[in-house]
Structure 1
């Protein structure tokens, strides 16, 4: 679904540089300088409207979070969510994951979250999936040794593809859940999409995979 253009988005992002730092790539290797504490760094790719990262930041003050979101019309809502959460351990970046190694240095990130990523269902678009091997190569570079990826999706095909992709890459599967909400995980923080799809009775899939 195409998001409505918000002509004021650029100004709003610029006015909130405390949350969306300017020239994000200049912090490569030095992200901890943006936070009050040098805590483990967790990164969400595709932050959307920010419900997940705002919830995680509030639930886990012991971690620092960076959320990547390409759409300016969406990240402005995420900024509002972060403000409402009243936390200091979240920063947002207006960028995608195509060249994530330009944003984060080797072994700088402790955990990655892929929440309801575009499934790119057509075979010719396989290389665009965020769990394709070229993305995994970049993730392995920026993650600490034994770093973890947590994937959540409602798309069965993407989930199955990702589990196979992780395995082929030599990652260790820590968890493969076919119905996340049936587990009643008290620590699970839902995204906007997750609320929408689970409300319709669709199963939510979750996988945790660790680089060896």
Structure 2
């Protein structure tokens, strides 16, 4: 889905105290950006921030970081977070946001940035074969996340797309994750911790069942799985 340009987004983000405009300068030091040292959760592809706004405000004992590739959409994240904290009469001191290309995640996080949990909600399914390597659950990406996701840490993955979900199950297995929880109909599963966002409601109103899993990390695999293309192949596809 193409996001319309929002001229107000960059100026607002520049003035936002919880928006980080130089994420590469904080690699290895993300925990230091929060006033309290507590578990760190990361959302990759936060979209309009509906999930993060609800999650962060209701869990003050956890620090949160939300990332999306576009500043235009991150501006909506910022507004939704501000609204949620204002309604709760709290300050957003346990949340940080920034815009970045998640394919280059290891330029902003390393092994010192210990993350307890990663959320991936309704990411682009990239259905064409030549584009699948861009998926946020693709083995190459999972391999990257394991650099900073702690042993025993979890990835919570939610999608409306059947093919993406089935193929992601294979990806997780290839990278040494185990499935701690899985459902093919999240609304009917009784999973108490689910946060239903506007995006999720849209799919359910269309009769689409939401697929969800919790995958536990057991340490980085010794080598990149063979399904992953060589770096040169990735660069060629990005240029095409």
TM-score category of the 2 structures, normalised to the smaller one: over 0.9
Structure 2 residue corresponding to 1:200, chosen from 201, 206, 222: 206
For the pair shown, which has the larger CA radius of gyration, 1 or 2? 2
In structure 1, list runs of 5 or more residues that go unmatched: none
Distance (whole Å) between structure 1 residues aligned to residue 196 and residue 100 of structure 2: 22
Aligned length: 211
The aligned counterpart of 1:89 is 94
> What pairs up with 1:20-31 in 2 under 5 angstroms?
20-31=19-30
1:157 to 133, 158, 163: 163
5 Å-filtered alignment, 1:1-212, equals 1-16=1-16, 18-86=17-85, 87-106=92-111, 108-212=114-218
What is the Cα deviation at residue 153 of structure 1?
A: 0.3
Partners of 1:109 and 1:143 within 8 A in 2: yes
TM-score using structure 1 length: 0.95
Q: Is the 8 A contact 1:54 1:90 kept in 2?
A: no
Q: What are structure 2's unaligned runs of at least 5 residues?
A: 86-91, 219-240
Q: Partners of 1:101 and 1:3 in 2: how far apart? A: 26
**How far off its partner does 1:191 sit?**
2.9
Q: Distance in 2 between matches of 1:97 and 1:180?
A: 26
TM-score relative to the length of structure 2: 0.84
